[in-house]
Structure 1
Amino acid sequence: MNNVPILIVEDDPDISAPLAQFLSGKGYRTRVAGSAEQGLAMLAQESVELVLLDVMLPGMDGLELCRRLRASGGPRIIMLTALVETTDKVIGLELGADDYVSKPFDLRELLARIRSALRRPPSGAEPAQTSQSAAPGDAARDPGAELVAAFAGHTFYPYRRFVRSPTGLRIPLTGAETDLLLVFCRHARQVLSREQLIALTRGKDFPIAARSIDLLVSRLRRKLSGDDPLDETIRTVRADGYAFQRDVVFE
Structure 2
Amino acid sequence: MALAHILIVEDDAEISGPLERFLRINGLATTAIASAEDAASVLASDEIDLVLLDLMLPGEDGLALCRRLSAANGPRIIMLTALSEPTDRVVGLELGADDYICKPFDLRELLARIRAVLRRPLPAQGRPRQTEAAYRFSGFAFFPQRRFLRSPAGLRVPLTGAEADLLLAFCQHPREVLSRDTLISLTRGEGFAIAVRSVDILVSRLRRKLANDDLAAEIIRTVRSDGYVFQPRVLAE
Q: Do they fold alike, i.e. is TM over 0.5?
A: yes
Aligned residue pairs total: 236
Q: 1:121 to 1:184 in 2, by over 3 A?
A: closer
Give the whole-Å Cα distance in 1 for the aligned partners of 2:67 and 2:137: 29
Match of 2:87 in 1: 87
The code of the aligned residue for 2:170 comes to F
Q: In the alignment, is residue 162 of structure 1 matched against residue 163 of structure 2? A: no
Match of 1:142 in 2: none
Match of 1:117 in 2: 117
Does 89-98 or 78-87 show the bigger shift? 78-87
Q: 1:168 to 1:191 in 2, by over 3 A?
A: same
Aligned identity (percent) is: 64
The code of the aligned residue for 2:91 comes to I
Q: In the alignment, is residue 147 of structure 1 matched against residue 123 of structure 2? A: no
Match of 2:50 in 1: 50
Secondary structure of 2:43 counterpart? helix
Deviation at 1:159, TM superposition (A): 2.2
Match of 1:246 in 2: 232
Match of 2:35 in 1: 35
Deviation at 1:39, TM superposition (A): 2.1
What TM-score do the two structures reach when normalised by structure 1?
0.81
Give the whole-Å Cα distance in 1 for the aligned partners of 2:137 and 2:87: 32
Give the unaligned 5+ runs of structure 2: none
Deviation at 1:100, TM superposition (A): 1.5
Kept after mapping to 2: 8 A contact 1:121/1:161: no
Alpha-carbon RMSD:
2.6
1:1-251 mapped onto 2 (5 Å cutoff): 2-123=2-123, 125=125, 128-129=129-130, 146-225=132-211, 232-251=218-237
Secondary structure of 1:212 counterpart? helix
Deviation at 1:77, TM superposition (A): 0.8
Kept after mapping to 1: 8 A contact 2:142/2:149: yes
Give the unaligned 5+ runs of structure 1: 131-145
- After the TM superposition, which segments of 4 or more aligned residues of structure 1 sit over 6 Å from their partners? 227-230
Deviation at 1:115, TM superposition (A): 2.5
The code of the aligned residue for 2:184 comes to I
Kept after mapping to 2: 8 A contact 1:124/1:172: no
Secondary structure of 2:31 counterpart? strand
What TM-score do the two structures reach when normalised by structure 2?
0.86
Deviation at 1:44, TM superposition (A): 3.6
Match of 1:133 in 2: none
Give the whole-Å Cα distance in 1 for the aligned partners of 2:120 and 2:57: 27
Give the whole-Å Cα distance in 2 for the aligned partners of 1:41 and 1:60: 14
